[in-house]
A and B are shown apart, each in its own frame.
Chain A
Amino acid sequence: MPTMTFSEIYKLFGGMVYNVALQYTQNGQDAEEVTQDVFVLVHEKMNAFRNDAELKTWIYRIAVNKSLDFLRAKKAVKRWSFLSAKGIDEKKYEMVHSEFNHPGVQLEQKEALAFLFSCINQLNEKQKTAIILVRIEGISMDEASSIMGLSYKALESVIGRAKIKLQNIINESKEDE
């Protein structure tokens, strides 16, 4: 059982979870919702822990899973709305129309980052998570591989493939313009 109280855990990891959620949702309100879900689950399960050393990895894992759950649910809602809106290219819609409202992004970088994130959003879940944890959150490869339940080599491979796919997506979008 952790030696910290719930509010201490929140003070220590709240910012971390909120920022991870932001990288997935790119939207302040959505990130808040995800963060709430994460900490509700943390509160339910926190007594299962033997020591505080595992706590950070465990909370990161919940944050990643809850963020991915949120995105899946949102995608399902969007898919249904496309049934009534014929003739719209879903990919183009993802690239152009974005609820990009990332509070960590400076105004002068907003357009470039909105585009980059729209490309990252097209990666599969593993690749997206690897890029977010390692390249945006700056987590070490060892820690990221632990969070994702992958070996170091497997994570390297995932990041390598993610970069190649990202490059292809960027090149395709430039061709379309």
Chain B
Amino acid sequence: MSSKTSNQQMENSLELLNSIRTVTPPKDLLLKIERKIENNKQNVIPLRWVKAAAAIFICVFFTEVYLLSNKTQADDLSELIVTVDYTLYNE
């Protein structure tokens, strides 16, 4: 019974929401929207430029990785040469 009463009380409270009137938006709102759309168009970077920049970045990155890995191999080789040094010392 108490849950029914509580439900009724809730319904009575929510009845208040029926008194809210529909509001007409401001007359200049469409103009503001159109201006915002125009601004967004000007700020957008063309997708092909973004793709080109991404492609260049990836190429540079992998080039660096390749060069670094080659340099490491070259260093290892040069160390080997040093250790296998056949220089004769004057006795």
Question: Which A residues form the contact surface with B (CB < 8 A)?
Answer: 7, 10, 14-15, 18-19, 22-23, 28, 32, 35-36, 39-40, 43, 102-106, 109, 112-113, 116, 131, 135-136, 163-164, 166-167, 170
| A109 CA to B32 CA, complexed, in Å | 31
- CB pair B37 A14 closer than 8 Å: no
Residues B37 and A43 in contact, CB atoms below 8 Å apart: yes
Give the distance to chain A from B4, nearest Cβ to Cβ, in Å. 12
- The prevalent SS among residues of B at the interface is helix
Q: CA–CA, A27 to B30, complex, Å?
A: 18
The interface stretch among B12-20, B57-65, B76-84 is B12-20
Q: Is B32 a contact partner of A116 (Cβ separation < 8 A)? A: no
Picked from A19, A35, A43, A109, the residue with its CB within 8 Å of the CB of B19 is A109
Report the Cα distance A22→B20, complex, angstroms: 11
Q: Which of B1-47 contact A (CB under 8 A)?
A: 6-7, 9-10, 13-14, 16-17, 19-26, 29-30, 32-33, 36-37, 40
In the complex, how many residues of chain B place their beta carbon closer than 8 angstroms to a beta carbon of chain A?
Answer: 23
Q: How far, in Å, is B13 (CB) from chain A's closest CB? A: 6
A113 touching B29 in the complex, CB below 8 Å, given contacts A43-B37, A163-B7: no
Nearest B residue to A38 by beta-carbon distance? Answer: B33
Residue of A nearest to B9 (CB): A167
Given the complex of chains A and B, what is the CA–CA distance between A104 and B17 in angstroms?
11
Please tell me if the beta carbons of B29 and A163 are within 8 angstroms of each other in the complex: no
**A residues near B37, Cβ cutoff 8 Å:** 40, 43
List 4 extra interface pairs beyond A18-B23, A135-B14, A136-B20, CB under 8 A: A32-B32, A104-B22, A104-B23, A167-B9
Q: How far is the CB of A74 from chain B (nearest CB, A)?
A: 19
A14 lies within 8 A of B16 (CB): no
| B7 CB to nearest A CB, Å | 7
B33 pairs with A36, CB closer than 8 A: yes
Q: How far is the CB of B78 from chain A (nearest CB, A)?
A: 57
